[in-house]
């Protein structure tokens, strides 16, 4: 089942919290009022009982008249103290108010206590339940001047419980209304709180692949919504950059592939126009072969970059002694340099230099750098390959005395299909993919590839790789 919207879920949680809080508050207030009433009633009964005890101390036993009669004015009872009765231990009634006589509260303490007990009935206190009213009774046994007296004072607690019952009924009737109003208010507030989120959703939804340059508005408040908007804008910037690179890559690849394919097609059409001599056919087929090889190289480079973008190009890392790898490259690099009338030198340290690397990819990176150095260096120039240890890294430098790179173009030479303006003039061939591949190989090994160049004096490509044991 599809989950409800966040607005509904937040409102539901809000209702649960409000309902729980109101219910707990109701019970706390209800029992608090009940406890306060009962404490007040018990305190008043104790005060009234103390008043009657003082009265009996003043009126000694011989002066107390026998028979059921009200207390004289000397007892100093208040207007609401009309529930009392006093007897001796034999049960003979000495003083009894008419209201107490009507309630028929038992003089026998055991009979009184065996009545239904209230939750607060303890000690001398008990609650005497009748059909018409409930009476709270305090029964005391006192010794005065050698005589024992039973004193009972009482209070009708029905008015207090009626107030509690009214409070309970109104509360239970009002709680659902309050919860409903709170739910409506919570739903409205949640909608107000979620409005900026909906605005972000609508703004983001309106951005397509044709409008990646657009950005969603950033709220002025320094809150989570601002962070969300800034995060979405940063993501859009990355998407725009990636989309631009893909578009440019596709356009550049199409452009680079179109030229050799056009040459191959045109040459084939020329061959088929008329009969050709063996020398002409050999020359034209040789041209097709060269263009095919160039196209194959370009396609292989494109596939390599595509795999790196998809992160599917896996490296087989193992311990590698760099001096041995450079020694393998020395002979082929010397032949390449001498074929272009260049001086080749290589400098390596005496001690072993061990790194963790993929030998095939590292060889490929070094060949790219060496071939570029030889290609863009004029005859009688020089190319030097050096290896040094600068702990915790190994430094490989390929330095030439070639044409150099214009300063304003130095930051772009690692972009795909980019070729410096003087490089295109010096050697029209080339794809501009070698250095991007070389940099990817260096960074995938946790290293760096940087370039320093002086226009007209040469270039130095520096590769830094972490030594084994320093990861």
Residues paired with residue 451 on neighbouring β-strands, in sequence order: 461
At residue 137, the pLDDT reads: 84
Q: What is the pLDDT of residue 321?
A: 92
- Among 193, 203, 213, 256, smallest CA distance to 6 is for 193
pLDDT greater than 50 at residue 116? no
- Measured between alpha carbons, how far is 178 from 127 in angstroms, rounded to an integer? 36
Split at pLDDT 50, 70, 90, the class of 322 is: very high
pTM, entire model: 0.51
Structure confidence by residue, pLDDT tens digits, 262-277: 878 888 888 888 887 8
Whole-number average pLDDT of the chain: 81
Q: Does 428 score more than 60 pLDDT?
A: yes
Q: Is the pLDDT of residue 124 over 80?
A: no
- The pLDDT assigned to 79 comes to 58
Place of tokens 């001690």: 351
DSSP state of 11: H
According to the per-residue pLDDT averaged within each range, which of 77-81, 203-207, 253-257, 335-339 is highest? 335-339
Q: What integer is the mean pLDDT of 189-195?
A: 80
Please return the burial class of 400, using the count of CB atoms within 10 Å of its CB with bins 0-12, 13-18 and 19+. buried
| 40 alpha-carbon distance from chain centroid | 54
For 307: left if phi > 0, alpha if psi spans -120 to 50, otherwise beta; the answer is alpha
Out of 71-85, 178-192, 422-436, pick the least confident: 71-85
At 75 the pLDDT is 57
How many residues are recorded in the chain? Answer: 471
Give the torsion sign (CA, 200, 206, 210, 213): negative
Are the beta carbons of 302 and 433 closer than 8 angstroms? Answer: yes
Half-sphere exposure for 32 (CA within 13 Å, toward CB): 6
Radius of gyration of the chain measured on its C-alpha atoms: 52
């Amino acid at each position: 089942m599809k989950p409800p919207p966040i607005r509904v879920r937040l409102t539901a949680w809000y209702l649960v919290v409000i309902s729980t809080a109101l219910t707990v508050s109701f019970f706390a207030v209800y029992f608090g009022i009940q406890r306060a009433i009962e404490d007040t009633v018990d305190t008043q009964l104790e005060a009234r009982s103390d008043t009657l005890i003082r009265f009996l101390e003043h009126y000694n036993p011989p002066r107390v008249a026998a028979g059921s009669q009200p207390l004289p004015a000397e007892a100093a009872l208040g207007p609401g103290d009309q529930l009392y009765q006093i007897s001796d231990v034999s049960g003979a009634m000495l003083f009894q108010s008419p209201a107490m006589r009507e309630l028929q509260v038992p003089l026998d303490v055991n009979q009184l206590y065996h009545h239904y007990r209230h939750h607060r009935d303890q000690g001398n206190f008990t609650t005497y339940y009748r059909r018409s009213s409930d009476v709270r009774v305090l029964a005391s046994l006192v010794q005065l001047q050698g005589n024992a007296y039973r004193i009972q004072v009482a209070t009708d607690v029905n008015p207090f419980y009626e107030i509690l019952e009214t409070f309970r009924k109104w509360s239970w009737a009002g709680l659902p209304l309050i919860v409903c109003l709170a739910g409506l208010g919570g739903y409205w507030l949640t909608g107000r709180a979620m409005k900026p989120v909906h605005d972000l959703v609508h703004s983001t939804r309106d951005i397509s692949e044709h409008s990646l340059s657009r950005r969603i508005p950033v709220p002025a408040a320094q809150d989570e919504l601002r962070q969300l908007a800034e995060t979405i804008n940063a993501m859009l910037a990355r998407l725009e950059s990636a989309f631009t690179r893909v578009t440019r890559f596709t356009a550049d690849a199409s452009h680079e592939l179109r030229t050799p394919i056009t040459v191959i097609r045109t040459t084939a059409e020329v061959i088929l126009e008329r009969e050709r001599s063996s020398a002409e056919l050999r020359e034209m087929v040789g041209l097709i072969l060269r263009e095919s090889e160039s196209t194959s190289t370009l396609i292989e480079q494109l596939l390599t970059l595509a795999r790196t973008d998809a992160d599917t190009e896996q490296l087989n890392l193992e311990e590698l002694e760099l001096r041995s790898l450079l020694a393998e490259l020395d002979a082929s690099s010397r032949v390449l340099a001498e074929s272009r009338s260049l001086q080749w030198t290589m400098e390596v340290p005496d001690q072993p230099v061990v790194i963790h690397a993929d030998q095939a990819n590292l060889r490929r990176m070094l060949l790219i750098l060496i071939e570029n150095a030889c290609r863009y260096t004029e005859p009688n120039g020089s190319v030097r390959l050096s290896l040094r240890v600068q702990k915790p890294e190994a430094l490989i430098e390929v330095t030439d005395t070639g044409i150099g790179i214009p300063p304003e173009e130095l930051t772009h030479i690692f972009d795909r299909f980019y070729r410096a303006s003087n490089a295109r003039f010096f050697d029209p061939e080339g794809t501009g993919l070698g250095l991007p591949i070389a940099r990817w190989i260096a960074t995938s090994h946790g290293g760096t590839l940087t370039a320093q160049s002086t226009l007209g004096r040469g270039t130095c490509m520096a590769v830094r790789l972490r030594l084994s044991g320093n990861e």
